[in-house]
């Protein structure tokens, strides 16, 4: 089975999720999205697979979230997607995709729901 993980190796939840995938002996495509930021279209596709709005995918604890006042409810999904594309640290992690489904690995065991 082929899966894709949007991974940040510095994140313990991301590392734990990757470990679960490795133990399942899956064909894993690892995307370090901080090194290779996602295009807006890729983020939009992930949102559809997750069943999320752009706001749902934002990491609210990041300084950039506060500095850019991203809690403002009048900001559109398109705006938020664009800002996540330019500042990938804002994207919640890890994201695992299998076929047409995706899940955030928080807790890491949640990835088992789509395998």
DSSP letter at 3 equals: E
* Contact (CB, 8 A) for 91 and 38: yes
> Does the annotation mark 98 as catalytic?
no
What tokens were used for 59? 């990491």
Contact criterion met (CB below 8 Å) for 32 and 44? no
- 2-6 and 27-31 as β-strands: parallel, antiparallel, unpaired? parallel
Cis, bond preceding 107 (omega within 30 deg of 0)? yes
| Residue 56, CA distances (Å) to 5, 29, 53 in order | 18, 24, 5
- Active-site hit among 7, 10, 11, 54: 11
Catalytic site positions: 11
């Amino acid at each position: 089975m082929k899966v894709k993980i949007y991974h940040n190796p510095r994140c313990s939840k991301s590392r734990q999720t990757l470990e679960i995938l490795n133990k399942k002996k899956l064909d894993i495509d690892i995307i370090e999205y901080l090194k290779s930021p996602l295009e807006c279209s890729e983020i939009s596709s992930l949102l559809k697979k997750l069943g999320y709005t752009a706001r749902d995918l934002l990491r609210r604890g990041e300084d950039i979230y506060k500095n850019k006042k991203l809690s403002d409810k009048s900001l559109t999904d398109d705006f938020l997607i664009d800002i996540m594309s330019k500042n990938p640290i804002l994207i919640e992690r890890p994201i695992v995709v299998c076929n047409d489904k995706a899940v955030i690995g928080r807790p890491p065991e949640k990835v088992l729901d789509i395998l």
